[in-house]
Chain A
């Protein structure tokens, strides 16, 4: 309880914890719980760390319904990602493609794959070495938001850039 009380006095930290919690749930392979990232310490992410990428750059982009086009807001995020990934070349990268539940299972596996590929292609076009990038589709099998309406579906139609390899 003491921890919660401390956090409530610091809205910035709460937002940080919340976004990390979402990231943790979406990318199983990347150990980025608050504790892993040393959050309880300074609060500011070490430049070049996975925490830095998730919090300061943004690890995910969102898509329109049944679309794999990179939206304008997503292009901004991905350009930041590319710049960061080019600066910190020690990471291997897995791009997870996801779909919302408003489609059938097999089609959504294909749609998630197409979103991951579109994200990969954008990063490659911005100079990230293709051999660092892998993609995987989870279709609609790994939602982060679990309600039954548009507010959740729009969060689930996403591609998440996850870091692995040396230095993660």
Chain B
């Protein structure tokens, strides 16, 4: 799990000691139960980080925006604050925060070290229990202040919900510009909140369906650059590219295995049908998993690598099937009224997200891995292609409206739909694992 990014980032975490009297809590600490039916967003006060001038306000702004976008937190407007925090390490006047109904309070500071690094620290306070819940400090090089803020937001999210955060992540996607019948499509990568966009291809060839490696700074995607559409690997940091396999026909719909050692994809047969193959990236050996006179595509591994979910129209219309990772026991699991495609196994292993077409609309939904318990999270005229946040609580997909596609995120409960800001049209989002 070595990350190429790590040496560049120099982010180090350190727990901060409790400054408030380390007494036992008089009451249970504030906690959000995210598994409840309807989560009331938790009112939280996020004060500007002290020091660093504009940087302090920038960091608290990013933390606040992350928490708010999750739908689980309601950051309180700063103008309502009574106490002005001057020493972020001192115990705040809890009464001042209880009065404005801030259940949790974040204080922090940021400073430049002599070696040029940025040091940021935060403390999370339970105002009603009157004590510190957590405190950590982080070091980062100057270029990564946004990442420090996302890491702090993840720490707060995790402390208050008991679930892993997902803010220190990136999204790879297809940036689309130009007229609909002459779209320029470019590989692009950005932070999960739309910041720090970087282009990974020049737009001369059509590129589609990028997906992250689970453990390397690498993506697999499909490109028309050789004339025939084919699956490639791309090293994000070096830009090095590599064709995956040497197949006679079109290869498409690639995804990594959970250990990052295989790419699973569709290969076009001579008869015009498509079957699923897995290729071992080390030995270069390929394994055929399906052999049907049908369209078999969009394969996605279960997180333990033992199973694969995919789309097939072998029964007439496209439906979702599950099989063993060796191709055994192919079983249809979707039986609803409509056409199902783009199945993606959740990082927790218990759900499969999909696109469903029914009654002239496109829906994003989830079902259990045996096909039961289908729930629709979002319905629209044209939308598709869900991807999971690494904590399995949020999905992102793309929706076509107003002339082109844009990215949208939605909570696993189907609430809190949020647009992801991108300068151009955007499609095919794929969420990274949590960065290291």
Seen from chain A, the residues whose Cβ lies within 8 Å of a Cβ on chain B are 25, 66, 68, 101-107, 109-111, 113-118, 121, 135-139, 141-146, 148
Contacts and interface: CB of A to CB of B under 8 A. Distances in A.
Nearest to A109: B252
Interface stretch (B27-35, B87-95, B268-276, B326-334): B268-276
B225 to A, nearest CB: 13
A106 B271 contact: no
Nearest to A114: B272
- The majority secondary structure among interface residues of chain A is mixed
A109 B428 CA distance: 14
Interface string B401-436: 000000000000000000000000001100000000
B385 interface: yes
Contacts of A148: 381-382
A105 B250 CA distance: 14
Interface residues on B, range: 35 or more
Contacts of A25: 181-182
Contact of A106 (B181, B209, B381): B209
Given A25-B182, A114-B273, A109 B341 contact: no
Interface of B: 179-183, 185, 206, 208-209, 227-229, 249-250, 252-253, 266, 268, 270-274, 295, 297-298, 311, 313, 317-318, 339, 341-342, 355, 357, 381-382, 384-385, 400, 427-428
B181 A141 contact: no
Given A114-B272, A114-B273, A136-B229, A106 B253 contact: yes
Contacts of B209: 105-106
Contact of A105 (B208, B249, B271): B208
Contacts of B228: 136
A135 B206 CA distance: 17
Contact of A144 (B181, B229, B273, B381): B181
Nearest to A136: B228
Nearest to B360: A102
Nearest to A145: B181
B180 A103 contact: no
9 contacts: A104-B385, A106-B266, A106-B342, A107-B298, A110-B295, A113-B249, A113-B268, A141-B183, A141-B185
A143 B180 contact: yes
A104 B253 CA distance: 11
Contacts of A138: 206
A106 B229 contact: no
Residue among A115, A118, A137 with the highest chain B CB neighbour number at 10 A:
A137
A107 B354 CA distance: 13
Contacts of B400: 101
B364 to A, nearest CB: 11
A141 B295 contact: no
B182 A106 contact: no
Contacts of B381: 148
A141 B342 contact: no
Contacts of B185: 141
Contact of A104 (B272, B273, B274, B384): B384
A98 B274 CA distance: 16
Given A114-B295, A116-B272, A146-B181, A107 B341 contact: yes
Nearest to B398: A105
Contacts of B311: 106-107
A135 B384 CA distance: 27
Nearest to B253: A106
B181 A143 contact: yes
Contacts of A106: 209, 252-253, 266, 297-298, 311, 341-342
